[in-house]
Structure 1
Amino acid sequence: MSQALNDAVHWADLTADRLIRQEDKETYTLASGITPSGVVHFGNFREVMTTELVARGLKKRGKKVRFIFSWDDYDTFRKVPANLPKQDELSQFLFQPIVDTPDPFGEHESYAAHHEKSFEAQLKKMGIDLEPIYQSKKYKTGAYKEQIKLTLAKKDVIAGILNKWRSTPLSDDWMPVSVYCEKCNRDKTTATSYDGHNKLNYTCDSEDCKHTGSVDLDTTSRVKLPWRMDWPMRWSVEKVDFEPGGKDHSSQGGSFTTAKDIVSEVYGWKAPMYLQYDFVSIKGMGGKMSSSKGNLVTVNDVLDVYEPEMVRWIFASYKTNIDFGLSFDLDVIKNYEDFDRMERMAYGIEPGNDKKVAMAKRVYELSQIGDHPSEMPFQPAFRHLCNVLQINDLDIKRARSFYTNEIKNERDERRFQERALRAAYWIENSAPEEFKFSLNKEPVKIEMNHKESTFLYELHNFLKSEWNHITDDKMLHERMYEMIHAQELEPMPVFTLLYKKLIGLEKGPKLAGFIRTIGMERVLKLLVP
């Protein structure tokens, strides 16, 4: 066994080890998939990231990985999401295949393609390379016709498996297939009989159709397997070794329970190794995200605030069966601080016990897109960067001048630009109002008593004469307190006075560091007695 296997500390590596122990081979097929019923949201992304991290574990062990991603775009369009345009037009395609529903934005060949291409582009930003499989093409080209016949032939076996978990048994005339009506293209049909070879009869139950027809399974593209049969069937076709699933599929008697039996008893294959993943929530949203309901946040929305490596780090930091929430409020600052701390630990700059350091290194590896930097990238602290940006009216180019001496290479430059863009976006769109400020452009006249005027005069003189000798925030902080006490003033009213002079507010960032960040020229202009 390799050193990598002996040193496994992360759940993705442990899962890779289990796969190898189960069957040691050159290439493993890992699967994931989504129905493009609406905008693909950040919660869906957990399935992709779970598979991606296991793929990284296998690759570290010298294995090849085929990462397939099934777009279930031959599923039925059952609900018009509330967040999409052309609601009336879309409603005309209810109960038809998603792939046959038009793109309401007029950008792609179908509703399905619009959401598929959007999500695939987001995956590229996250450094995820996979093989998309469009299930509509598989069904429409007859790739599954033999599996459909086999499913019909074994319908009694399938019914017996499903009935173990049903309170009401399936009827004797139940059929394990869906049919899209030849006349209205909807799946509101009932398969009525099968001749055991290739002829399937059906009736359409739509009130405005009531068509009765028959299809030839050797030539038709209108027959599809429902999810409980479709999932295990595809395991057998693609020879899947690993696939995760959400809580809704993982409960006792759920679709994974029945799929395990169906794949072996009907399709002659074995169930893949399975990991349950829990839900991802967005702080303040409440409940589970849903594409069909339209209450969601996308990967792109998250990337507006978090760097790609940070998003990967967040997923890699949690075991799959633990739910977590992502924040867009002040917790964003803490998340950046936690990421930076982990990065420092991974590079040996911040101490930690052996277990924590080992985990930090592995999580950091899993979070990387592209080559692992040989040196730790520049870390502009997010809170401080927000202050620098606001001091400079969110002008990233001007803010960069503050960090000129710290940006040493291309990776440092990318880190600054990516983080500054996200900090500026967060300030404008998500930061609490009390966090925001704007530096006064001209001196503000404020009524002061004699002691306050004297203090401000002395502070102004001190900053003018000693600015280049102030070595750190602590030194300035202590000197300000000395001047405050010399005038027998209370600190809080004085700080309020200074904030009003600088930003027109009663409070703001920590004052000593804030003054130093603003710079001597502008501070002296605004803190006139």
Structure 2
Amino acid sequence: MSDNQNTPKLIHWADMTADRIIKQKGDKEGYVLASGITPSGVVHFGNFREVITVDLVARALRERGKKVRFIFSWDDYDTFRKVPLNLPKQEELKKYMYQPIVDTPDPFGEHESYAAHHEKAFEAQLAKMGIEVEPIYQAKKYRAGDYKEDIKLALNKRKEIRDILNQYRSEPYGDEYFPISVYCEEHKTDKTTVTGWDGESKITYKHNETGYEGVIDLNTTSLVKLPWRVDWPMRWAFEKVDFEPGGKDHSSQGGSYTTAKDIVKIFGWDTPVYLQYDFVSIKGLGGKMSSSKGNLVTVNDVLKVYEPEMIRWIFASYKSNVDFAVSFDLDVVKTYEDFDRQERLAYGVEAGAEKKVEMAKRVLELSQIGEMPKECPFQPSFRHLCNLLQINDGDIAKTRSEYANDIKNARDERRFVERSTCALYWLENHAPEEFKFKVNEQKPAQDLSAGATNFLSSLASYMESSAFDAITEDKELHEKIYELIHASEIEPAEAFKALYGALISKERGPKLAGFILTIGKERVLKLIK
């Protein structure tokens, strides 16, 4: 929707970051953008922020005619340090503690390893979100010997690396420091201490728990790994990375980004353009997401409540360094309403200030999975859709008949199916009790005053008349209900309580006029006559 696809307006942080990359790294044909994570457990929704941040910037670069290599590093050669509480075979997994994650078996028996189980799950979720990455499995890289020369360089420059790290350490490293960890060839774990390096290829080490002493040759072993603070800048240089964001924890003074900026020079590369992103929380479920604790929410979990374009839209709507919460509670309704409003602004269906319209357009462009529709897609109100689904006892096919004239193409159909499926799941799992209802099948017993009984009787008589059949708008019935309440000489609150009680056995519910018209004459009369 931009005037010139190769030069989008500089109104969104993704576009500004893309231009910053081109300016700082030179106007090249292509750029390398990076992201990654350790598959220590189920990859949760909070981790998704880093990936979507890179994807949004990648899109902005491609729109500028640039080629983008989006690499995603799986740090599966990291150590398995903690067994997440939500996984089966806890005792079996504990046997592999302090060994490489990639060598830990899949407790579900579905993949070749624990690491692969979590990697494949997250990659499938990224595909649902319209994100394509080039996965790099670090265990394969280390075991293929791809980093041997870099490890040798780090060992020969260990004092320089140590001095960089010591600037930010309360307890400085001494001469005993080596920028590597070793997996013991005898006991498989990394509970080892490096005791020597001959300057060429030989490393001596000691297993801390057993006292076993070993000598390994970097030219023939794959048991050596760089620690995170050295490994990260080494890979920047190895992959020629131009951009990689980092979380608030990495970005603080003295954090891994601070030291990586200096260490990367040892490997002959410049610091990639950097962007800090803040944390994402979940509202309405409670608890901070943690892979090791197992109390987490995944992209798949959020997709059960929100359409995929909406999830992209939520992230694209916030600056990367702003924290926010994704709601599972009643605010889900508001989120859908906000998205629909912004979509209408973007398509010109609703008027707005020029700057707001331009931003709505850009955010919506970045939110698309596939080609952007030329016209505003069908927008079934989430609140009304929830009501219709409950009136129709959760039957999506029946509910669709209410929208038959509004669904005009495949995109509209997808919108209806995704939104109604999300609404039904939300109603069944997360909606507050006051939002939920079930239309009664039989007239319930109620202890009503004479006035309330007279009101329901008058309403039933009216609904049996031709005047009711002629109603075309909610407003007409709304006014008639108040007329009947006044005639029955009772307070509106008493009348509403009696009517809601008859319809759904609750004291309140959806707006009555529209509710009655949607339920239908026959079902309502059966309950109030």
TM-score, normalization: structure 2? 0.97
Call closer, same or farther: CA 1:109–1:261 in 2, change over 3 Å.
same
Structure 2 unmatched ranges of 5 or more = none
Deviations 1:120-162 (A, max 9, x none): 0100110101100000000011010000000101001101111
Equivalent position of 1:51 in the other structure: 54
Query: For each residue in 1:168-191, what CA deviation from the matched residue of structure 2 results, as whole angstroms up to 9, or x when unmatched?
Result: 210102100000000111001111
Give the letter aligned to residue 502 of structure 2: K
Distance 1:100 1:152 in 2: 26
- Residue 4 of structure 1: CA displacement? 5.5
Distance in 2 (alpha carbons) for counterparts of 1:57 and 1:468 = 55
Report what 1:8 is aligned to. Answer: 10
Distance 1:333 1:147 in 2: 52
Distance 2:468 2:22 in 1: 63
1:43 is paired with a residue whose SS is helix
Q: Match for residue 116 of structure 2?
A: 113
Question: 2:415 aligned with 1:415, yes or no?
Answer: yes
Could you tell me how far 1:466 is from its partner in structure 2? Answer: 2.6
Deviation at 1:510, TM superposition (A): 1.2
2:269 counterpart letter in structure 1: W
Alpha-carbon separation, structure 2, partners of 1:517 and 1:26 = 58
Match of 1:137 in 2: 140
Partner of 2:377: 377
Deviation at 1:474, TM superposition (A): 1.8
Q: Over residues 1-26 of structure 1, what are the superposed CA-to-partner deviations in whole Å (9 max), with x where a residue is unaligned?
A: 97864721100011001111221111
1:150-189 map, 5 Å = 150-189=153-192
**3-state DSSP class of the match of 1:471?**
coil
State the 1:440 CA deviation. 0.7
* Matched residue, 2:395: 395
1:82 aligns with 2:85: yes
Corresponding residue number in structure 2 for 1:470: 471
One-letter code aligned to 2:515:
F
Distance 2:262 2:287 in 1: 32
- SS of structure 1 residue aligned to 2:73: strand
Partner-residue secondary structure (3-state), 1:326: strand
Question: Is 1:28 matched up with 2:27?
Answer: no
Structure 2 equivalent of residue 349 of structure 1: 349
Deviation at 1:472, TM superposition (A): 1.8
Once the 2 structures are TM-superposed, how far is the Cα of residue 462 of structure 1 from its aligned partner? 2.2
* 8 Å CA contact retained: 1:263, 1:270: yes
Q: Residue 518 of structure 2 aligns with which residue? A: 517
Which residue is 1:17 aligned to? 19
Match of 1:278 in 2: 278
Q: What do residues 419-443 of structure 1 show as CA deviations (whole Å, max 9, x unaligned)?
A: 1111111111111111111111122
Asked if the contact 2:7/2:63 (under 8 Å) is kept, the reply is no
Question: Do 1:5 and 1:17's aligned partners in 2 also have CA atoms closer than 8 Å?
Answer: no
Residue 5 to residue 287, structure 1, CA distance change in 2 (3 Å): farther
Q: Distance in 1 between matches of 2:8 and 2:518?
A: 48
Q: Find 1:149's aligned residue among 152, 169, 172.
A: 152
Q: Is the 8 A contact 1:179 1:191 kept in 2?
A: yes
SS in 1 for 2:68: strand
SS of 2:46 mapped into structure 1: coil
Check whether the contact 1:279–1:288 (CA below 8 A) recurs between aligned residues.
no
Task: Give the conservation status (yes or no) of the 8 Å contact 1:43–1:279.
Answer: yes
Give RMSD over aligned pairs. 1.4
Partners of 2:502 and 2:431 lie apart in 1 by 23
Superposed displacement of residue 286, structure 1: 5.1
Query: What letter matches 2:426 in structure 1?
Result: W
**Residue in 1 that maps onto 2:495:** 494
| Alpha-carbon distance between aligned partners in 1 of 2:184 and 2:505, rounded to the nearest angstrom | 68
2:311 match: 311
Q: Give 1:250 shift.
A: 0.3
For the 8 Å contact 1:37–1:291, the answer to whether it is kept is yes
Distance 1:494 1:2, change over 3 A: closer
Greater shift after overlay, 17-26 or 388-397?
17-26
Contact preservation (8 Å) 1:277, 1:320: yes
The answer to which of 126-135 and 447-456 deviates more is 447-456
Work out the CA distance in 1 between the residues paired with 2:284 and 2:508: 26
1:217 alignment partner AA: L
Report the Cα offset of residue 210 of structure 1.
2.4
Report the Cα distance in structure 1 between the residues aligned to 2:4 and 2:400, rounded to whole angstroms.
45
TM superposition score normalised by structure 1: 0.97
The amino acid across from 1:65 in the alignment is V
**Separation of aligned partners in 1, 2:200 and 2:452:** 97
Tell me: CA distance 1:513–1:197, structure 2 relative to 1, closer, same or farther (3 Å): same
The CA distance in 1 between the partners of 2:394 and 2:127, in whole Å, is 28
The answer to whether structure 1 residue 210 and structure 2 residue 211 are counterparts is: yes
Structure 1 window deviating more from structure 2 (410-419 vs 163-172): it is 163-172
Deviates more, 1:280-289 or 1:380-389: 280-289
1:453 positional shift:
3.2
The question of whether the paired residues in 1 share the 8 Å contact of 2:284 and 2:329 is answered with no
Name the structure 1 match of 2:246.
245
Deviation (angstroms), 1:448: 3.7
Partners of 1:121 and 1:15 lie apart in 2 by 27
Q: Which amino acid aligns with 2:121?
A: S
Aligned residue number for residue 481 of structure 1: 482
Q: Give the SS at the match of 1:200.
A: strand
Aligned residues: 525
Describe the shift of the 1:288–1:58 C-alpha distance in structure 2 as closer, same or farther (beyond 3 A).
same
Deviates more, 1:61-70 or 1:468-477: 468-477
Give the partner amino acid of 1:84: L
Give the secondary-structure state (helix, strand or coil) at the position aligned to 2:244.
strand
Cα distance in 2 between the residues matched to 1:451 and 1:288 = 52
How far the C-alpha of 1:284 sits from its partner, in A, is: 4.3
- Cα displacement (A) at 1:287: 5.6
Query: How many angstroms does 1:476 deviate by?
Result: 1.2
Q: Kindly indicate whether the alpha-carbon contact (under 8 Å) linking 1:280 and 1:288 is maintained by their aligned counterparts in 2.
A: no
Partner of 1:199: 202
- Which deviations, in whole Å up to 9, do the C-alpha atoms of 1:199-235 show, x marking residues without a partner? 11111112xx322111110111100000010000000
